[in-house]
Amino acid sequence: MNLDPAVEEEFRRLEEEIAGHDRRYHGEARPTVSDFAYDQLRRRQGELLAAHPSLQTLRPGGVGDDRLDRFPKKNHREPMLSLNNTYGEDELRRFVERVERAAAGPVDFVVEPKIDGVALAITYRSGRLAHALTRGNGLEGDVVTENLRAVADIPRTIPAEGKEGEESVVEVRGEIHVEEKDFQAMNAEREEMGEEPYANARNLAAGSLKLLDPKESARRRLHFLAYEILGYAIGTQWEVLETLRRWQFPSNGGALARGFAQVWQRVEELGKSRSGHAFATDGAVVKANDRSLRAVLGAQSSAPRWAIAYKFAPERVETLLEDIRLRVGRTGVVTPVAVLSPVHLAGSTIRSATLHNGDDIARKDLRIGDTVFLEKAGEVIPAVVAPVPEKRPASALPFAFPSQCPACGEPLVRIDGEVAHRCLNPDCPPQLARRLEHFASRAALDIATLGPARIAQLLERGLVRHFVDIYSLDADSLAALPGMGPRSAKNLLAAVDASRRQPTWRLLHGLGIPHVGAETAKLLLRRWPSLQDLAAAERDELCRCDGVGEVVAAGIFRFFRSPANRKLLETLSSLGFAVFSPTPAIGLVAAQSPARELAGPSPFPESAGPSPFRGKNFAITGSFSSLGREELRRRIEERGGSVREALSRRVDVLLVGERPGSKRAEAERLGIATAGEDVLFRWLQESESAERRN
């Protein structure tokens, strides 16, 4: 390969940066750049690829990757491609002309809203919903069927019969999304519970689709809008939309247009009405209506040439940056917050916006007194983009980040590699308050009636300093507090006492380790059975845990290596928390089944040894979307387990697939442990990766 090393270097850097954004976006639901900035990177990557096709050899896959280890996998019947994006009218015109040239004449297009959601492919076998896959890496996706049971927009059956005696296999593709109003309500709920809000509705949809607990996904009010049918003879995209409507899928509002003028008119209409839709759209998709043109036009790397996405420019307003305030958070991070003259933007009134950190303010050169541009783009959280230079008053000075904590006056420091300024004083008052609030919040230990106001009171009177102090509060001093009496004191103490028996993930979440939210806490405890085991984990082991990125791993590692926190674990244990004993394995027992909980040593250690199957007896009921029975038997036997036809007390675990039979109830009666597809698949993966390591 005869490549300019500078080009190769730029390409590698881009690939790495994009992969990082993909990981944060798909894996951690925590994007750090706007869609626009991401698209610029992808565009540059596309330009380099077009100019130097040999760069292809440096890259493993095509369209990003949303796969997570904990889901079973399946191949897509056809690759799930991406779309080329454009932000310009001219480029859209050239697309229309290219299609017209290929067709040698005028062409009908279908213009559809581009739903800002998560791609999903649903397979129907003989008209019955069989399984649903995420995009994954475009070729292979995660099986998320269970998590979609509660999505009312997805019909369980469709009238797509095959020929007499033949099974029809039809696939419907579309976007899972969360409606704007539900997104706002759920984020408000999260903030109230002290959890980090989702950056936008699409991240909430992606996160919800990939939750460990299908019951929790069902609560997330997911919707589906379909735009594609595969495996069903259909001549035009318009007929696809009509057929989808007939099959009871909600309509995505696509419209026919002929020639560029009509296409552009329709795109502009969609742009104007975007905030009027219940769903979030970030653009319009323009598709050649005649599907036979697809073969003529073909695809280029990971995007087809018969369709294009026109992305709307982010909505932008101007307002005054009145002040920059500093907020000290639970972990000591000092966050600058813009105080803005109230302004209306994309459906809500904005009064403030985070400015992230000092570097960001300096890079954008934001000054108090500036008129600034505010955007929402695909992100629902408003962002201060840039100052308006010609409106800067002469008196506006560059913002100097203070060198001392605005709350306690201790010097602020910047830990290696972090952009944030931190106050390291563990006794800094707002930190103490935030830590206690977080510990007692509904999302963590859920101590009823111990809210922010009560905590402020306790801190003020010196009754508590740290959350362990909550456990030595006495009824008399509580009852003497203003607004409290003997009865509320008793209730509070009862709630405090009950918190010792909360599941360990709540305690782990409550400890306030940076980035360890409820879901991450559950993931960690699936891998390490007790807090003590987790505390002993090495940094690279933590990194290998599915869903734990490098930054998160470093935070956990640092937390547990601190002697003070080691001591804290002992104190918590002496207070009655189950710090040293294994937690019951999450998800190991089928959801509805009260069959023997795998408390204590489970037949399968959460941190699987060389083979979690070795020497164990299994029975199977129901079907598994990712594996046939025989294949499953073979894989268990290869790993030293055996599979029995009948259920008896000799069976260690009953594997419960979809539509289980009577064995499930029988297992319950006999007290035999059960495991669902997600757990089974995790064991298979763990044992396979252990085999690879050995």
Residue 119 in contact with ligand IVH, rule: CB under 6 A: yes
- Does residue 107 touch ligand IVH according to CB under 6 A? no
* Contact residue for ligand IVH among 76, 114, 210, 421 (CB under 6 A): 114
Catalytic residue at 114? yes
Cα 170 from Cα 548, distance rounded (Å): 36
Answer for the pair 655, 675: CB distance below 8 angstroms, yes or no. yes
List the one residue from 29, 49, 81, 507 that touches ligand IVH (CB under 6 A).
81
Shortest CB 263 distance to ligand IVH, Å: 14
Both tokens of 68, joined, read 């997570």
**Helix H or strand E encompassing 299:** strand 299-300
Closer CB to ligand IVH, residue 281 or residue 499? 281
Q: Considering 73, 74, 114, 490, which one is annotated as catalytic?
A: 114
* Pairing of β 653-656 and β 673-675: parallel
The nearest distance, CB 285 to ligand IVH, in angstroms, is 4
Asked if 290 and 235 count as a contact pair (C-beta separation under 8 A), the reply is yes
The stretch near ligand IVH (CB under 6 A) out of 75-83, 394-402, 453-461, 662-670 is 75-83
Is 92 a residue that touches ligand IVH (CB under 6 A)? no
Compare residues 134 and 687 and give the one whose CB is closer to ligand IVH.
134
Closer by beta carbon to ligand IVH, 119 or else 579:
119
Shortest-Cβ-distance residue relative to ligand IVH: 119
User: Does the footprint of ligand IVH cover residue 115 (CB under 6 A)?
Assistant: yes
Asked if 309 interacts with ligand IVH (CB under 6 A), we say: yes
Instruction: List the one residue out of 331, 378, 332, 387 whose CA is nearest residue 355.
Output: 387
The strand pair at 85-86 and 222-230 is best described as unpaired
Place of tokens 């109003």: 181
Q: Which of 45, 82, 86, 499 binds ligand IVH (CB under 6 A)?
A: 82
Closest to 542 measured CA to CA, from 557, 532, 529, 531? 557
Sequence-ordered list of residues with C-beta below 8 angstroms from that of 242, at least 6 positions apart, any chain? none
CB 52 within 8 A of CB 227: no
The whole-angstrom separation of Cα 330 and Cα 484 is 27
Query: Which of 520, 684, 543 minimizes the C-alpha distance to 608?
Result: 684
Minimum distance from residue 566 beta carbon to ligand IVH (Å): 47
Interface with ligand IVH by CB under 6 A: which range of 81-89, 271-279, 319-327, 331-339? 81-89
Q: How far apart are CA 613 and CA 270, in angstroms?
A: 55
CB-based contact 114:284 (threshold 8 Å): yes
Query: Among residues 228 and 678, whose Cβ is nearest to ligand IVH?
Result: 228
Pattern of binders to ligand IVH over 318-357, x per CB under 6 A?
A: ----------------------------------------
Q: Does 231 bind ligand IVH (CB under 6 A)?
A: no
Tell me the C-alpha to C-alpha distance, in Å, between residue 655 and each of 256, 392, 589, 643: 50, 67, 10, 10
Segment interacting with ligand IVH (CB under 6 A) among 113-121, 137-145, 442-450, 606-614? 113-121
Say how far apart CA 691 and CA 694 lie, in whole Å. Answer: 5
Identity of the residue numbered 48: L
Q: How many residues bind ligand IVH (CB under 6 A)?
A: 14
Residues 236-295 that bind ligand IVH (CB under 6 A): 252, 285
Shortest Å distance, C-beta 297 to ligand IVH: 12
Residues forming the active site? 114
- Residue ranges binding ligand IVH (CB under 6 A): 81-83, 112, 114-115, 119, 175, 227, 252, 285, 304, 307, 309
